[in-house]
Amino acid sequence: MARTLPRPTAVTPLARDMAALGRLVRNRRAQSELRIDDAADMLGVSKDVLSRLENGRSVSLDKLFKVLDGLGLNMLVFTNQQTSAVLDVVEPPAAQASEKP
């Protein structure tokens, strides 16, 4: 069966858990129009590693950073207090409200 591409969606840049981080990675792959096997080859990781990451399961930090770098993504770490101010800059408050669980 042919592998299909995921569709890009609007996602918040805030990843509070592995599931949210996986959504960000999958969304970036979708924006790049890469099938998972092609992306894994390009990134130098196995398809299993990329699939685990996109599905919110743990992967080693070196693999995580390899994937993020290869997809043109970066990770920033903020205190809880700083997060609100940063999100106000990168996404409108109305979008934040719709993303909260």
Domains of the chain: 18-75 (1.10.260.40)
Residue 4 pLDDT exceeds 90: no
C-alpha 35/C-alpha 6 separation (Å) is 8
pTM for the model stands at 0.78
Q: Give the pLDDT confidence score for residue 1 in this predicted structure.
A: 47
User: Which tens digit of pLDDT belongs to each residue from 68-79?
Assistant: 999 999 998 889
C-alpha 88/C-alpha 85 separation (Å) is 5
The mean predicted confidence, pLDDT, of the chain is 86
User: Which tens digit of pLDDT belongs to each residue from 26-61?
Assistant: 999 999 999 999 999 999 999 999 999 999 999 999
pLDDT tier at 88 (50, 70, 90 boundaries)? confident
CB 33 within 8 Å of CB 5: yes
